[in-house]
């Protein structure tokens, strides 16, 4: 079963963490193995398992339920992923996932699916690394998502998925900080922490444990509870940092070369998706993230501001990491009477998304949208189409530049695969995937906006990821 389409988010949250699929596509590259074969494979070079251990190599039609997620993931990538990926690339990526396991000690037979012939060698590695079939299958799925696809495609195990869904609902237990993982040399988004992929704090939510403990933007996270996070994925780090209210976690951070620990007691809090205020004749509205109910909250706040006869409307989307596509369309539709909001282009098709509902903002009202380098994805969709239609003045910095669309697909083990299925363009054909949306007024917020004192104090710098 497919989940809602997401324009994604560039970061993960230190909060409480961080389509039903048919059989594998036989039209994919490479020949699939025979439906069921049983081989005895020698585990050469392994000192922790017997010299010979039985490997039951199976295909995907039928497939053992314990390892079905490998075939499901392979099929989803074949059918929906935005770019073509070869069987060899997927098999090698699955092997990298297996390589992170300790050597197996089990003597029991291992069942391993090979959706294409390239996976036979991967299954031989699974025999050496996985104690049980389900462990090997999950490591293969993790490897395919993490090492074979783009950084925005992610495997969620059942526990991680539960926390992501909690976060999307906006009610969270944890510390209340947004993080991102980037290559410090290039600024490219990454997923596995290393010297070339550092995790840093983007912002904290006001009055949450992270804020009260003194975490600051650009703090680089090095360890959690004394454990070095090199080699961990972003999801693994956020899963450990998040936890029940009242429990404690210790983050080791690097702040401009000074390394120290910060003790934080987790708490429950609500993600503030929308904040609004009236200053003089100006209505100020901070949209912090595109959760599943953010459009309703946005429209309610907008109607309230308009009822108070404001003359100028300021929409602050600084540090908004994105979220649901439907929410972005609803927000943009409040300003546009007709036309399209965004166009997505996938492997085999292009889809246009028109405005929905009635316009709320009068045509003659001045609208200013504030963005920065952490405004991403759905934030960029809204600011880009309003700029292209001449409906708003964009103020601040170039946005992040994330032009991909994700969709979450349920897996049979209770987890899910978040997969990049398309790239988005403005209705006029502009692609903001590299430089981001360029503001009309750059770095002149103080002189251009009458509500900058409010902007500085608002929660636009205290947001969390939509999952």
Query: Quick one: pLDDT at residue 364?
Result: 93
Query: Quick one: pLDDT at residue 417?
Result: 95
Judge contact between 417 and 407, C-beta under 8 A. Answer: no
Nearest to 326 by CA among 389, 274, 381, 367: 381
C-alpha pair distances (Å), 45 with each of 49, 97, 128, 129: 10, 19, 9, 12
Judge contact between 159 and 168, C-beta under 8 A. Answer: no
Query: Quick one: pLDDT at residue 347?
Result: 82
Checking if the pLDDT of 420 tops 60, the result is yes
443-462 residue pLDDT tens: 655 434 444 554 443 323 22
77-92 residue pLDDT tens: 999 999 999 999 999 9
Query: Quick one: pLDDT at residue 93?
Result: 97
> What pairs with residue 254 in β-bridges?
220, 259
423-436 residue pLDDT tens: 999 999 998 887 89
Cα gap 128→130, rounded to integer Å: 6
CATH number corresponding to 272-461:
3.90.226.10
Judge contact between 405 and 380, C-beta under 8 A. Answer: no
Q: Provide the angle, in degrees to the nearest 10, between the axes of the packed helices 133-147 and 119-129.
A: 130
157-216 residue pLDDT tens: 988 787 777 666 556 778 988 888 888 888 777 888 999 999 999 878 888 999 999 999
Name the pLDDT band for 384 (thresholds 50, 70, 90): very high
Using the structure block, give the residue that is written with the tokens 């926390």: 163
> What pairs with residue 370 in β-bridges?
316, 395
pLDDT averaged over every residue in the chain: 82
Sequence-ordered list of residues with C-beta below 8 angstroms from that of 331, at least 6 positions apart, any chain: 287, 290, 294, 295, 298, 382
Query: Quick one: pLDDT at residue 171?
Result: 61
Query: Quick one: pLDDT at residue 332?
Result: 97
Query: Quick one: pLDDT at residue 396?
Result: 86
Judge contact between 412 and 65, C-beta under 8 A. Answer: yes
Domain coordinates in residue numbering, the chain: 25-58+86-148, 158-269, 272-461
Percentage of the chain modeled with pLDDT above 70: 82
Query: Quick one: pLDDT at residue 450?
Result: 44
**Dihedral sign, Cα of residue 319, residue 325, residue 326, residue 329:** positive
**CATH topology identical between 158-269 and 272-461:** no
C-alpha pair distances (Å), 465 with each of 99, 122, 126: 30, 34, 34
Alpha helices in 16-86 (DSSP H): 68-80
Checking if the pLDDT of 146 tops 80, the result is yes
> What's domain 158-269's architecture?
Roll (2.30)
Residue 233: DSSP 8-state? B
């Amino acid at each position: 079963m497919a989940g809602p389409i997401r324009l994604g988010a560039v970061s993960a949250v230190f909060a409480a963490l961080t389509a039903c699929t048919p059989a594998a596509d036989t039209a994919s590259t490479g020949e699939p193995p025979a439906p069921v074969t049983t081989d005895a494979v020698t585990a050469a070079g392994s000192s922790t398992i017997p010299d010979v251990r039985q490997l039951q190599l199976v295909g995907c039609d039928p497939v053992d339920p314990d390892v079905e997620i490998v075939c499901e993931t392979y099929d989803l990538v074949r059918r929906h992923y935005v770019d073509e990926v070869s069987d060899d690339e997927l098999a090698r990526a699955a092997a990298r996932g297996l390589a992170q396991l300790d050597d197996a000690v089990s003597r029991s037979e291992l069942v391993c699916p090979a959706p294409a012939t390239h996976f036979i060698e991967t299954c031989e590695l699974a025999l050496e690394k996985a104690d049980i079939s389900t462990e090997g299958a999950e490591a293969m799925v993790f490897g395919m998502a993490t090492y074979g696809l783009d950084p925005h495609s992610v495997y969620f195990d059942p526990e991680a998925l539960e926390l992501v869904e909690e976060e999307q609902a906006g009610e969270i237990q944890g510390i209340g900080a947004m993080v991102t993982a980037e290559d410090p040399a290039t600024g490219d988004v990454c997923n596995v922490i290393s010297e070339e992929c550092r995790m840093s704090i983007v912002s904290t939510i006001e009055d949450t444990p992270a804020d009260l403990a003194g975490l600051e933007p650009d703090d680089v996270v090095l360890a959690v509870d004394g454990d070095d996070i090199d080699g961990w994925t972003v999801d693994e780090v956020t899963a450990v940092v998040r936890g029940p209210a009242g429990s404690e976690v210790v983050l080791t951070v690097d702040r401009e070369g000074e390394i120290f620990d910060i003790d934080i007691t987790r708490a429950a809090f609500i993600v503030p998706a929308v904040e609004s205020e009236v200053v003089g004749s100006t209505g100020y509205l901070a949209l912090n993230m595109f959760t599943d109910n953010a459009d309703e909250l946005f429209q309610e706040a907008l109607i309230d501001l308009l009822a108070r006869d404001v003359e100028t409307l300021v929409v602050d989307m600084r540090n908004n990491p994105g979220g649901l596509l439907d929410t972005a369309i609803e927000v943009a539709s409040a300003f546009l009477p007709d036309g399209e909001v965004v166009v997505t282009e996938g492997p085999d098709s292009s889809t246009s998304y028109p405005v929905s509902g009635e316009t709320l903002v009068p045509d003659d009202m001045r609208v200013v949208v504030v963005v920065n380098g952490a405004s991403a994805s759905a934030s960029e969709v809204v600011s880009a189409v309003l700029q292209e239609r001449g409906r708003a003045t964009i103020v601040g910095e170039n946005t992040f530049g994330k032009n991909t669309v994700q969709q979450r697909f349920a897996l049979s083990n209770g987890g899910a695969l978040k997969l990049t299925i398309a790239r988005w363009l403005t209705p006029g054909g502009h692609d903001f995937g590299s430089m981001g949306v360029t503001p009309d007024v750059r770095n002149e917020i103080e002189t251009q906006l009458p509500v900058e004192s409010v902007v500085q104090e608002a929660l636009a710098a205290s947001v969390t990821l939509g999952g």
